[in-house]
């Protein structure tokens, strides 16, 4: 009887722990409409479900800085007003677009496919 009770308690605690781990991936909002900027450019790489932060470059330009590469900035196109928050944690997917050799840009052209605002714990 003690063995059965002990096994049930172990299973109960294991399940409770796994529920808490799943909550780390919760997000508040999901956005998928970011206009058609940069669609005419060649896609050089696809990005899927990367963590990053929204940053303000100047009054007109907002970008995403990936957490794993703080030197990179991906330009956001037609960003909704509610996302214009400095250092907002997000998970994003999209296409990195090509920059011509003669161009100088504040951020790499990026076509956003999906952006999720990460729930702060």
Distance of CA 101 to the CA centre of its chain: 28
Looking at the domain assignment, is residue 51 inside a domain?
A: yes
Give the pLDDT score at 99. 95
Tell me if residue 25 falls in helix, strand or coil: helix
Q: Total structural domains in the chain?
A: 1
Q: Are 62 and 54 in contact (CB under 8 A)?
A: yes
Looking at the domain assignment, is residue 5 inside a domain?
A: no
Alpha-carbon gap, residue 95 to 113, rounded angstroms: 7
What's this model's pTM, rounded to 2 decimal places? Answer: 0.73
Domain that holds residue 82: 28-118
- Model pLDDT for residues 57-113, shown as the tens digit of each residue: 998 899 999 999 999 999 998 888 999 999 999 999 999 999 999 999 999 999 999
- Model pLDDT for residues 22-44, shown as the tens digit of each residue: 334 566 788 887 878 888 999 99
């Amino acid at each position: 009887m003690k063995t059965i009770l002990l096994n049930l308690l172990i299973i109960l605690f294991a399940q409770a722990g796994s529920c808490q781990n799943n909550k780390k991936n919760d997000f508040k909002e999901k956005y998928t409409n970011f206009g058609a900027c940069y669609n005419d450019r060649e896609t050089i790489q696809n990005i899927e479900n990367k963590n990053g932060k929204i940053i303000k470059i100047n009054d007109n330009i907002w970008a995403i800085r990936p957490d794993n590469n703080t030197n990179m900035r991906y330009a956001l196109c037609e960003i909704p007003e509610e996302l214009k928050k400095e250092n907002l944690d997000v998970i994003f997917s999209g296409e990195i677009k090509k920059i011509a050799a003669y161009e100088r840009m504040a951020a790499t052209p990026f076509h956003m496919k999906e952006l999720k605002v990460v729930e702060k714990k």
